Amino acid sequence: MSEQNEVAKELIMKHIFNRLWKKESFSPSFIIGIWINPYFIIRKGLIKGVRNISTYVKGGSLLDVGCGSKPYREIFDVDEYIGIDVKVSGHNHSSSNIDKFYDGKTIPFEDDSFDHVFSSEVFEHVFDIDEHLNEINRVLKVEGQLCFTCPFVWDEHEQPYDFARYTSFAVKHLLKKHGFELVEFNKSTSYFETVFQMLSAYVFQHVLPNNKYVKLFLTPILIAPINILGLILGKILPKADGFYHNNIVVAKKTEKKQVS
């Protein structure tokens, strides 16, 4: 019986650790995340951006395109939250929470099905962004919200399914082209926050040993000081907004695009 109790305790502790790790990965805190998350700066900017996005999304139905594990589900106050994703991508789906898989081209819902569409860090993995935005336009109701984040500065990831980066000008052009009106646009990080996040990512990925336990031990020693210095310099040095991590976007569907 004592052996079974020990196994049960171990499973409970593992579950608690995994939940904490997931939380600190996507919504890092200054108390814990800044010390253990090598991507603290970019994630801090993203979670702030998604929370701002969520203020535009109230009630109704929401489609999360490229939902993965639905890390932001609890942020949105909606009546229905549906997530879709592709089966084959640059990561496995062991921790995913997907309602429906699709082919990455045709969204498997009728026209005008959703009040809101949300997508975070997905557009860079879409080879034909015009086709993708046409599909989002199709399933979104007129006056419905399209809310998304996508990177301007980040290294290649989920290879080989990484196809694009978007400037603020490209985002605005694409929205207008596909029947959307820009409601709010923000950039997630400052110039020096972006510089130091890239340095932190480089050290974590290419300097620290591959052993995950050694990495976990060394991250607070070597990575956290880079995070902290980047945040400080980002606040005190002159502002320059041409070098940043992510586009944070809220748009409204103003017209139904006719797809030939």
Rg (CA), the chain: 20
Mean pLDDT score of the chain: 91
Once rounded to an integer, what is the mean pLDDT over residues 157-166?
96
Decide if pLDDT at 9 tops 60. Answer: no
Tell me the H-state helices in the chain: 2-26, 33-36, 40-54, 129-139, 168-177, 191-202, 212-218, 224-236
Q: What is the pLDDT of residues 111-126, one digit of tens each?
A: 999 999 999 999 999 9
Q: How confident is the model at residue 254 (pLDDT cuts 50, 70, 90)?
A: very high
Cα gap 244→183, rounded to integer Å: 20
pLDDT of res. 24:
80
Give first-to-last CA distance, the chain, whole Å: 67
Decide if pLDDT at 10 tops 80. Answer: no
C-alpha 51, offset from chain centre: 12
pLDDT of res. 95:
73
Q: How confident is the model at residue 129 (pLDDT cuts 50, 70, 90)?
A: very high
> Residue 111 in 3-state DSSP?
coil
| Pairing mode of beta strands 61-65, 80-86 | parallel
Once rounded to an integer, what is the mean pLDDT over residues 201-230?
94
> Residue 185 in 3-state DSSP?
strand
Most confident by average pLDDT, 15-24, 81-90, 189-198, 233-242? 189-198
Nearest Cα to Cα of residue 58 among 132, 113, 112, 118: 118
Which comes out higher in pLDDT, residue 62 or 19?
62
pLDDT of res. 110:
96
pTM of the model: 0.89
Q: What is the pLDDT of residues 162-179, one digit of tens each?
A: 999 999 999 999 999 999
Cα gap 146→136, rounded to integer Å: 8
